[in-house]
Amino acid sequence: MNVFDSTYQGILRRIMDEGEVDANRRTGHEVRAIPGMHFSHDIEKEGFPLLTLRKIPVKMFVAEQIWFISGARKPADFLRDYTKIWDSFTNPADVVTVAYGYRWRKHFGRDQLGALVELLKKDPSSRHAVIVTWDPASDGLGGTKKANVPCPYTFTVNIIGGRLHLHNMVRSNDMVLGFPSDVAGFALLQTILAQKLGVGVGVYSHSISNAHVYDNQYDAVSEMLNRTNEHAPIHLELPKNVFDRSEKKDKRLVDEIADPITAQYQPLPAITGLQIVL
């Protein structure tokens, strides 16, 4: 199997074998969970980290990242044409109050993502390229009740050895439904930033405070642990000027990015009946 599939199976197996079983009060579901889960994946050397043990919708995470880079927070603004995954988290005005891209570009009174690009253009050795999604004024800690708070809450970008590396920090990850799309999406963002800055793409790192599997996913996990797929590494070739075109919500980008991935992507069948636990 490719490296990412093997990594993913190893994480699932550890959760099922070693995870603490508990009841989640908010959802009413039993979970198996492990604290402090971490993995790293070298995109240049090991291929793009897209799960092949079950089918992941490619256009979904591609469109989502374009939407994030644009700084939008209404799914009707570009995203809903490709996925309705954020519709469960909108307020009555059809706004996702915790939309990641909006937090990156507008919410805190500065364009964090734009500033990151400018910083690393001027000083590629900087260790200050940190993006924060979590708003301590209202997120978590029993504060304002919301339908959602950010799961990936901060990430750091470093250029080391002429390659751009991204470390994603995640407070909570549904390892069956959320994790595979999060990894693919943020690895895509990493590759887009590397292109924008004219450097190679390096190591994607992912650290999770609470890595868990819900009880209604146990059968799906068992199925994936028994699957094997001799899949070649996936190599991501981006069209030109992806960052700038994403800012303009260029819809042609979705196919231009997704089609070369799909041409290489030969996943095992989708596992049907999976539902997001809210």
Burial of 183 (0-12, 13-18, 19+ CB in 10 A): buried
Interacting residues of 5 by C-beta distance below 8 A, sequence separation 6+: 51, 52, 53, 229, 231
Nearest to 147 by CA among 65, 92, 208: 92
C-alpha–C-alpha distance, residues 152 and 212, integer Å: 14
- Residues marked as catalytic: 151
Q: What residues have CB less than 8 Å from 127, skipping those under 6 apart?
A: 158
CA angle 179, 67, 145 (to 5 degrees): 65
Sign of the Cα pseudo-torsion (106, 208, 22, 7, in order): positive
Distance CA 277, CA 114 (A): 34
- DSSP letters, 228-267, are ---PPPP---PPTTHHHHHHTT-THHHHHHHHHHHHH--P
* Residue 131 main-chain phi, psi, to 5 deg: -110, 130
Residue written as tokens 């991935």? 261
